[in-house]
């Protein structure tokens, strides 16, 4: 086990409602989520001395601190690579409190991604970034490869070719997510499960991805309160101890377009997985439920393989017969995932991992001791193992 394992814990979680038009600023959304998370933990804004978020987030730490009436901030950091940052914000918070750099750190993410800038649309902004990611994207955007769905479709098509998988295999992920969302009153698709037939009948976005293979565009915010495991034990909620926290990037890595290496899957998640198992001393058999980043269904299959739950090309068989639904061998995305609950860049998945540890999920898995949570795929990414 690593020196970080067991030193920090998630003591509070909070979120706004998830909608398609929030009617308020991204700063306001983040303020509401942080207030809710601190109330959940039994802490006040004055207790917070650290903040972490995504480089993409529009809310500055100092603005959030002013609006909430926080005192001195001793630590703040931001993580790059879109949704790949989600678990890494908690990793940064954990390292800060474990080393005494800060006492209470809040990781937050808030955006109007449906009513404001829509990530799913073709946008030239990715090719105009003032860093080398923009230069990388400039190779593919002029050729029309300018949406997340288009970039993922390339890898999804190769996966089908390499392993003989089918679109129905992708659809089983969507069906499981929506089945779980149907039981979650906070999910956008509460009460709205889908069938595999409905998945197959949904319109094609970019072959082989149907509409129901693609996550939502959502407005909302989520906040996560991290402090030492020792302090968390004395706070209001059952702590979710951070047994492992890792980031990962693989050779010849690009942002969503890593097509120039021998393995065009998601080997960066393999880097994360190996580090999670090393830090925690656990193995896939020790995990009762997982929250796997599901912005597009094919990447869920690839993650199962990279994380060691099954071999390469074996995920279609692994997920068959309801194995990833509640009651199956490895229930996934019990909140409904980003396809069913909301797309808050993976932060809502971390919150669901905490609820599973607390025994408070709307789709509670029995006897949960360890939950694995991952961040964005197709990009440099991150992951967590949360334990009771």
Active site members: 293, 343
377 contacts: CB under 8 Å, gap ≥ 6: 83, 84, 266, 268, 269, 293, 295, 299, 302, 303
Q: Cis bond leading into 115, ω under 30°? A: no
Radius of gyration of the chain measured on its C-alpha atoms: 19
CB atoms within 10 A of CB 328: 16
State the helix-helix crossing angle for 61-68 and 26-41, rounded to 10 degrees: 60
- Integer Cα distance of 284 and 273 in angstroms: 9
Helix, strand, or coil (residue 371): strand
The Cα 246–Cα 277 span in angstroms is: 10
Are 217 and 22 a contacting pair, CB within 8 Å?
A: no
Q: Could you identify the residue written with the tokens 């001393």?
A: 281
Q: What is the DSSP code string of 4-17?
A: STTTEEEEEEEE--
123 neighbors 33 (Cβ within 8 angstroms): no
Burial of residue 161, with CB atoms counted within 10 A of its CB: 0-12 exposed, 13-18 middle, 19 or more buried = exposed
Measured between alpha carbons, how far is 377 from 300 in angstroms, rounded to an integer?
Answer: 9
* Spacing of C-alpha 62 from chain mean position: 25
């Amino acid at each position: 086990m690593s020196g970080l394992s067991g030193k920090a814990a998630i003591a509070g979680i909070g979120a706004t409602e998830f909608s398609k038009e929030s009617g308020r600023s991204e700063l306001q959304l983040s303020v509401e989520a942080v207030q809710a998370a601190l109330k959940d933990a039994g802490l006040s804004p004055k207790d917070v001395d650290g903040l972490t978020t995504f480089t993409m987030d529009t809310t500055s730490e100092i603005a959030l601190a002013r609006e909430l009436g926080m005192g001195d901030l001793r630590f703040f950091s931001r993580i790059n690579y879109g949704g790949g940052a989600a678990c890494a914000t908690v990793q940064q918070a954990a390292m800060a409190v474990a080393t005494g750099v800060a006492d209470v750190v809040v990781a937050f993410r808030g955006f109007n991604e449906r009513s404001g800038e829509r990530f799913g649309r073709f946008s030239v902004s990715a090719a105009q970034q003032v860093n080398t990611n923009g230069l990388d994207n400039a190779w593919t955007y002029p050729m029309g490869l300018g949406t997340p769905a288009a970039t993922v479709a390339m890898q999804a098509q190769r996966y089908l070719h390499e392993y003989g998988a089918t679109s129905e295999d992708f659809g089983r992920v969507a069906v499981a997510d929506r089945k779980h969302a149907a039981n979650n009153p906070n999910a956008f698709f509460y009460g709205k499960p889908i069938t595999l037939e409905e998945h197959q009948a949904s319109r094609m976005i970019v072959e082989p991805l149907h509409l129901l293979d693609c996550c939502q565009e959502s407005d909302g915010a989520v906040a996560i309160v991290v402090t030492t495991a020792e302090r968390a034990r004395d706070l209001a909620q059952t702590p979710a101890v951070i047994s492992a926290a890792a980031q990962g990037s693989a050779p010849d890595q690009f942002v969503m377009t890593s097509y120039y290496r021998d393995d065009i899957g998601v080997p960066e998640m393999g880097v994360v997985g190996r580090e999670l198992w090393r830090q925690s001393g656990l193995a896939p058999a020790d995990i009762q439920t997982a929250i796997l980043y599901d912005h597009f269904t094919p990447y869920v299959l690839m993650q199962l393989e990279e994380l060691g739950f099954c071999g390469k090309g074996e995920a279609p068989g692994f997920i068959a017969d309801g194995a990833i639904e509640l009651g199956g061998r490895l229930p996934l995305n019990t909140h409904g995932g980003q396809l069913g609950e909301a797309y808050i860049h993976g932060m809502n998945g971390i919150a669901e991992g905490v609820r599973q540890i607390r025994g408070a999920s709307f789709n509670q898995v029995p006897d949960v001791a360890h939950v694995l949570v991952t961040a964005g795929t197709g990009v440099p990414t991150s992951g967590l193992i949360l334990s009771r």
